[in-house]
A and B are shown apart, each in its own frame.
Chain A
Amino acid sequence: MKGKIADMAATPGKKDREDREEKRRSLVMDALIRLVREKPLGVIGAVIVLGMLFVGIFANFLAPTGYNEMSLASRLRPPSGENLLGADHLGRDILSRIIYGARISMYVSLGSSGLGIVIATIIGIISGYLGGKADTVIQRFVDGWMCIPALFLILTIMAVVGPGLVQVIVVLGALYGVASSRVIRSAVIAIKENQYVHASKAIGARTRTILVRHILPNVMGPVIILFTVNMGAAIIAEASISFLGFGIPPPTPSWGGMLSDSGRRYMLQAPWMALWPGIALAVVVYGINMLGDALRDILDPRLRGRLGRYGRGKVAAASLSGRPGRRFKRGKAAEQA
């Protein structure tokens, strides 16, 4: 450890900076390469997420009909050649509504976790980097906010601002922003004690420079993880708010809304009405979560060590105890050998 610090101190500033520049540029690339190489489940998740984005963006080209095109003839029609996934109580094609629903889910998930991460980063950096009185005051507010059940906050604020897509995005964004700020704050506190931040301060760098060049790039790991985790949570939350009647009003085809109101009412006569949006929702959230977990495995510095020392340790243990890797063929040890 001591040697490392001495090394860093001895390295000329310019070369050091170039190295870091190199590393910074390749963070995303590096993560992608490792994702494809090591995390098949993460790749499945990524494919699902990209699929949702694709369907959401090109919904108007992909959907056979409009999302609110009613026809009495096809009322409650089971899945068939004409309506691949059936039709609902107003004769609207469910496949089309699910395709347009992907767009709504895309707005909700990207919008609210994007807003959330911006809020979280701002609060986290101010609170973590400045510390002192500002930190104390901000943290008491975050504490208070986190003590109140999220569902109560969501429902109350939704009742105040009224139902609607934008409202849902803003409310969820604010909620995730405050909740995630803790993670960013602790990451910032850990980073600001690093030698290179002290060095940067010593040569007279402005606070803004330190924040932008040193702190921000180093919290990118938690930021990406939080972003994906919140994406999944936002889709579920939107569905739950719509279920309780405070969410996105009809006829907008949100998956949650399709499940909750008419979907529940006609669950006996037309189970497909609640089945398909439920499956779409579950698959997409599953994909987002799997992608998020894979990214966490890759980006969390505490989980570094590519193949895991566990495997190596096990080989050593096995050979010492005279059982050469019998039980470990399945694991990483086999791959490494």
Chain B
Amino acid sequence: MRAYMIRRLLLIVPTMFVVTLIVFFSVRFIPGSTIDLMVAEMAGTSGEEVDRDALERALGLDVPVHVQYARWLGVWPQRDGSFHGLVQGHLGTSLWRNRAVLSEILPRLPVSFELGILGLLIGLVVAIPIGVYSAIRQDTAADYVGRSIAIFFISMPTFWIGTMVVIYPSIWWGWSPSMELIPFGEDPVGNLAQFGLPAFILGMYTSGSMMRMTRTMMLEVLRQDYVRTAWSKGLTERTVILRHAVKNALIPVITLLGIMVPILVGGTVILEQIFCLPGMGRLLIECLTRRDYPILCGLNIIIAVFVLLINLAVDLTYAHLDPRVQYK
């Protein structure tokens, strides 16, 4: 167990290295440079000519890309000779706001987190009952109706449902979602009301794949010998399904949590945009259009670390729940 954990933690290192490679270089290939955008904006506001080279130097974009990468990683000295990068725990400085990337991201973390968690919970509450029920009634009307509902919601793009939900109530009842974030600490009810709709849409969106997984696993478990034994002992349907089948069928569904995180992030990007929530997703889109490389990289690094840790936690709990699994 300990050896397994150490090995898993060590495996995070090469994976994170790949992540830094993909993230750092993919954003640099985007045509159009930050410097051009900045020069254009400064010329627009103050009318002064800006010294491009000085700006480039100040932002550290004057050296070749691989040097920038090495500096960002923290394996190459900065201009003042110090090592100041990812390895030392620094995510760098935003190009536009001249603030540390971490202090840009941290206040937005709870917003996306709340939206993601609420969405996931709603998704689970919808997905598991439908999945279980449509498995034990495979190929009956109940199966078809239940699955149709869950599949229906992943058949529509979230942005479309989101827009409809924002626009029509505002015409019919003059209701529109708040443009300002309501902190949970000040007004818990208002906060939940604000997050309710986007979380519901996100939940319905994620429920489809979780429902599928639950159903498939239930179908598989129902064909197992121990379920037949349970039946032949004369147990009631309730006992067989809830105590014997569901318990085992849900274990693999947990692994979905790890896979769900990047999907949830994708969903929150669009929903934060529509519902004006100041989360990480909106930051991502903003920084993508402004080519704020350090924030883009920082965001993805943080998300990737989350994903890796959740996957590790999932694998560790997995073995607790399923005694057949052994760490090797």
Q: Tell me the A residues contacting B by CB distance below 8 Å.
A: 38-41, 140-141, 143-153, 155-157, 159-160, 162, 232, 236, 239-240, 243-244, 256, 259-260, 264, 267-268, 274, 278, 281-283, 285-286, 289-290, 293, 296-297, 300, 302-305, 308-310, 313-314, 316-317, 320-321, 327, 330-332
Contact = CB atoms under 8 A, between A and B. Distances in A.
B304 A148 contact: yes
A126 B236 CA distance: 48
Nearest to A151: B266
Nearest to A39: B139
Interface in B252-271: 259, 262-263, 265-266, 269-270
Interface string B164-193: 000100010000000000000000000000
Nearest to B29: A160
A285 B265 contact: no
A67 B104 CA distance: 45
28 contacts: A40-B144, A143-B15, A146-B259, A147-B19, A147-B262, A147-B307, A148-B19, A148-B300, A148-B303, A151-B265, A151-B266, A151-B270, A156-B30, A156-B288, A236-B154, A240-B158, A240-B159, A240-B270, A244-B273, A259-B157, A278-B160, A286-B152, A289-B208, A302-B220, A308-B223, A314-B237, A317-B240, A321-B234
B163 interface: yes
Interface stretch (B49-57, B64-72, B85-93, B224-232): B224-232
Interface string B189-220: 00000000000000000001000100010011
Query: Taking chain A's interface residues, is the majority helix, strand, or loop, or is none over half, making it mixed?
Result: helix
Interface in B8-27: 11, 14-19, 21-23, 26-27
A149 B144 CA distance: 32
B146 to A, nearest CB: 11
A144 B234 contact: no
A41 B18 contact: no
Contacts of A290: 147-148, 151
B235 interface: yes
Interface string B140-154: 100010011001101
Contacts of A304: 223
A296 B300 CA distance: 33
B216 A296 contact: yes
A149 B280 CA distance: 12
B81 interface: no
Nearest to A300: B216
B262 A260 contact: no
Contacts of A147: 15, 19, 262, 303-304, 307-308
Contacts of A160: 26, 29-31
Contact of B157 (A148, A256, A297): A256
Interface in B111-162: 136-140, 144, 147-148, 151-152, 154-160
Contacts, number: 183
B266 to A, nearest CB: 4
A117 to B, nearest CB: 19
A145 B163 CA distance: 30
Contacts of A41: 144, 147-148
A256 B236 CA distance: 49
A38 to B, nearest CB: 6
Contacts of B163: 264, 267, 274
A316 B235 CA distance: 11
Contacts of A260: 159
B157 A243 contact: yes
A296 B138 CA distance: 13
A162 B31 CA distance: 9
Contacts of A282: 152, 155-156
Given A156-B288, A293-B147, A320-B232, A308 B138 contact: yes
Given A159-B288, A303-B219, A244 B270 contact: yes
Contacts of A293: 147, 151, 212
Contact of B270 (A144, A243, A300, A308): A243
A282 B228 CA distance: 39
A256 B156 CA distance: 10
B18 A141 contact: yes
Contact of B15 (A144, A232, A264, A289): A144
A229 to B, nearest CB: 9
A327 B139 contact: no
B101 interface: no
Interface string B30-51: 1100000000000000000000
Nearest to A267: B167
A289 B155 contact: yes
Contacts of A140: 11, 14-15, 18
A268 B68 CA distance: 49
Contacts of A259: 157, 159-160
Contacts of B262: 146-150
B85 to A, nearest CB: 18
A323 B270 CA distance: 53
Nearest to B259: A146
B73 interface: no
Given A281-B156, A303-B223, A305-B223, 20 more contacts: A39-B139, A140-B14, A140-B18, A144-B17, A144-B304, A147-B19, A148-B262, A149-B303, A151-B270, A152-B265, A240-B157, A244-B270, A278-B160, A282-B156, A285-B154, A290-B147, A300-B216, A310-B222, A313-B231, A321-B234
